[in-house]
Amino acid sequence: MKKIIVILFLLIYPTNSIAHIGHYIKYKKIEMEIFRNGELIGYNHYFFNRNGSETIVTNQIKFVVKLLGATVFQVEGYSEEKYIKDQLVSYSSKTLQNDKKKFVNLTLNQKNKKFDINPRYKESIILIGNFDGVHKGHQKLFSLAKKYKKRYSSKIGVLTFEPMPKMFFNKRLDNFRISNLQQKIDNLKNLNVDFLIIKKFDRKFSKIKSITFIKEILGKKLKPKFIFVSNNFRFGNKREGNVRQLIKFERMCGYKVVKPQPLLTNKKIASSSLVRKLLQKGKLEKANKILNRNWSIVGKVQKGRRLGKKIGFPTANIDIKDYILACPGVYAVKAKRYGKNNYIKGIANLGYRPTFNGKKILLEVHLFNFSGNLYNKYLTVEFKKFIRKEKKFKNVDQLKKQIKTDLLIAKK
């Protein structure tokens, strides 16, 4: 009977799907959305009463993830007061089956304040930071970590924080991220990281003393063999901890701090801050060079006012959420459905649409030689070239004339 149930389940949720698990603890509900080739094909709900066991929730997640062929990982219960959707899993099971090494995602939050992890991940090389964008500077860090891994036969792990601390403390900082959480996970996986710890950054965790973080979390719980950090790494209550303090407790806690020299590009340190500044100034090509790839936004196509269609240039409209607002203007892009490999060239406007008195930031993508319905589909939009800044035209005819000129540039 058990085999029949499993077969029926897999018929509903094919094993080449990508699973995203979200948590809505206010209603004691787990929702799992199933994507195939970037298209939402179904979802499953698990409801629990207010006295429901968090252990049951965890077991349900593990059961579903195991059926999909993804890595079964540690999931702690949540206790959030407001709606939160954490993308805990986003793996193509088909890809995982071909991977020789499994990427394990250990997601921790305030209920897992003890930082209990599987012993197999202790005595590892731990890299700590936000790793927003996973740019060349970060990539240099991971290249060095791989040498340590080979020399000391250790695993490579990452400890990162969600939301990013700077965004947590500055609620007005709406547009800041270079990459969203899922892109960060994907980029780290591509760097052959063995495991990832995503620590939910909240008020309680922010008040932990730096000495407590070192002794109790690093020294007693994670027990790393090496800790890789940047020279400007700060941690603990009011950012009181620094690299010097980490080094001070090396012998006591049994780890060794590694702080590689930063990567320089045009005599400037390759950093997430530099990438953001370049994007904001419209220097896309320089930003892409530091990222070592095209900057991209992943978002869901939503219905808009259909202004582009009315003037002969239909667009897929995407809310950029908390992505950094690159210089408002027109860009040559290429886009693909999330989960697919085929890109389509296009042109995009990122900004407020001043000619139409727009007030909200929106990404409008016009794809060349494409026809079809993209509503509610997820697109990955890669920015290839900055064409011009956004401007307000006197009338729609002037705008249409300019768009035709922009198209010629984007199609080159």
- 29-60: pLDDT as tens digits: 334 433 333 333 333 333 333 333 334 444 44
Same domain, 132 and 228: yes
- Which has the minimum average pLDDT: 57-66, 104-113, 132-141, 224-233? 57-66
Best CA proximity match to 134, nearest among 3, 275, 315, 257: 275
Buried b (16+ CB within 10 A) or exposed e, 397-411: eebeeebeebbeebe
Q: Which of 265, 293, 321 is the last residue of a domain?
A: 293
Q: What is the token pair recorded at 147?
A: 């040498």
CATH code for the domain of 369:
2.40.30.30
Give me the helix-helix angle, 284-291 and 272-280, nearest 10°. 160
Residue 285 φ/ψ, nearest 5 degrees:
-60, -40
Q: 154 with 233, same domain?
A: yes
The verdict on 284 and 309 lying in the same domain is no
Assess if residue 92 is contained within a domain: no
Give the pLDDT confidence score for residue 356 in this predicted structure: 87
Total Cβ atoms within 10 A of residue 114: 12
Looking at residue 106, its pLDDT comes to: 60
Least confident of 90-94, 197-201, 205-209, 373-377: 90-94
Cα 155 to chain center, whole Å?
A: 22
Residue 104: pLDDT band with limits 50, 70, 90: low
User: Per residue in 232-289, pLDDT tens?
Assistant: 899 999 999 999 999 999 999 999 999 999 999 989 999 999 999 999 999 999 999 9
Q: Residues 199, 216: one domain?
A: yes
Number of folded domains in the chain?
A: 3
* C-alpha pair distances (Å), 260 with each of 140, 148, 232, 292: 9, 12, 11, 19
Structure tokens that stand for 262 in this block: 């930063």
Q: DSSP labels for 89-107?
A: ---BHHHHHH-SSPPEEEE
Say if residue 174 is in the same domain as residue 251: yes
Averaged pLDDT for residues 299-326:
88
Choosing from 85, 115, 132, the residue where a domain stops is: 85
Q: Are residues 179 and 60 in the same domain?
A: no
Mean pLDDT of 198-203: 89
Residue 306 is predicted with a pLDDT of 76
One domain for residues 275 and 307 = no
pLDDT, position 148: 96
pLDDT at 19 over 50: no
- Give me the domain span that covers residue 40: 1-85
236 and 377 in a single domain? The answer is no
Asked if residue 400 is part of any domain, the answer here is yes
Q: What is the average pLDDT across 97-123?
A: 60
Q: What is the dihedral of CA 87, 88, 93, 95, to 10 degrees?
A: 80
Opening angle at CA 257, ends 256 and 262, nearest 5 = 150
Range with the poorest average pLDDT among 35-44, 277-286, 305-314, 385-394: 35-44
SS3 category, 374 = coil
Work out the angle at residue 119's Cα, subtended by the Cα atoms of residues 113 and 123, and round it to the nearest 5 degrees: 100
Phi-psi category of 114—alpha, beta or left, where left has phi over 0 and alpha has psi -120 to 50? alpha
Residues 130-183: pLDDT tens digits?
A: 999 999 999 999 999 999 999 999 999 999 998 999 999 998 898 999 999 889
In a domain, 201, yes or no: yes
CA–CA–CA angle 18, 21, 23 (5° rounding): 165
Percent of residues, the chain, with pLDDT higher than 70: 72
C-alpha to C-alpha distance for 21 and 31, rounded to whole angstroms: 6
Q: DSSP letter at 52?
A: -
Closest CA to 161 of 245, 235, 223, 89: 235
Whether 108 shows a pLDDT value over 80: the answer reads: no
| H or E, element range at 319 | none
End position of a domain, from candidates 268, 293, 318: 293
* pLDDT score for 341: 86
3-class DSSP assignment, residue 32: strand
Residue 60: predicted pLDDT: 44
For residue 355, give the DSSP letter. Answer: G
In a domain, 37, yes or no: yes
Statement: residue 99 has pLDDT above 80: no
How many Cβ atoms sit within 10 Å of the Cβ of residue 304? 18
Claim to verify: residue 320 and residue 281 sit in the same structural domain: no
pLDDT tens column, 111-133:
444 677 778 889 999 999 999 99
User: What mean pLDDT is reported for the chain?
Assistant: 77
Summarised one tens digit per residue, pLDDT across range 329-368 is 999 999 999 778 899 999 999 999 888 888 889 999 999 9
